[in-house]
């Protein structure tokens, strides 16, 4: 099981991911896609990446606004896995013109 990061480590990792913010035990990012279908494509690509990583975000879909939240449930907090997947989500969103 991965170790949880302390507050300083979380702050440090967040500096490299400016679209993400801490919300208690999770980090969160909102993405606006160019259209609803484009948003669903983002979600489908994130789903594949999450399966590959065996690490899964909470996803809220509202028309073309997506909210991703990441936490390592098994560790009871934030770990490097959350920040690795956050960076992957950023790359996927950018590829689909979502910001």
Ligand X SMILES: C[C@H](O)[C@H](O)[C@H]1CNC2=NC(N)=NC(=O)C2=N1
Residue 73 contacts ligand X per CB under 6 A: yes
Q: Please state the closest distance from residue 1 (CB atom) to ligand X, in A.
A: 8
Residue 54 contacts ligand X per CB under 6 A: yes
Q: Which is nearer to ligand X, 64 or 83 (CB)?
A: 83
Give the 3-state DSSP-derived string for 7-63, with helices as H, strands as E and coil as C: HHHHHHHHHCCCCCEEECCEEEEEEECCCHHHHHHHHHHHHHHHHHHCCCCEEEEEC
Of 26-34, 38-46, 52-60, 91-99, which part binds ligand X (CB under 6 A)? 52-60
Q: Please state the closest distance from residue 72 (CB atom) to ligand X, in A.
A: 5
Q: What's the gap between Cα 92 and its chain centre?
A: 10
Q: Which is nearer to ligand X, 40 or 59 (CB)?
A: 59
CA distance 33 to 7: 31
Residues that bind ligand X (CB under 6 A): 54-56, 71-74
């Amino acid at each position: 099981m991965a170790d949880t990061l302390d507050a300083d480590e979380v702050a440090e990792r967040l500096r490299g991911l400016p679209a993400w913010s801490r919300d208690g035990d999770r980090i969160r990012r909102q993405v606006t896609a160019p259209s609803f279908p484009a948003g669903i494509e983002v979600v489908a690509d994130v789903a594949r990446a999450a399966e590959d990583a065996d690490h899964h975000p909470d996803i809220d879909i509202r028309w073309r606004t997506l909210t991703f939240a990441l936490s390592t449930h098994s560790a009871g907090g934030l770990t490097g896995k959350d920040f690795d997947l956050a960076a992957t989500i950023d790359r996927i969103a950018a590829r689909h013109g979502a910001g």
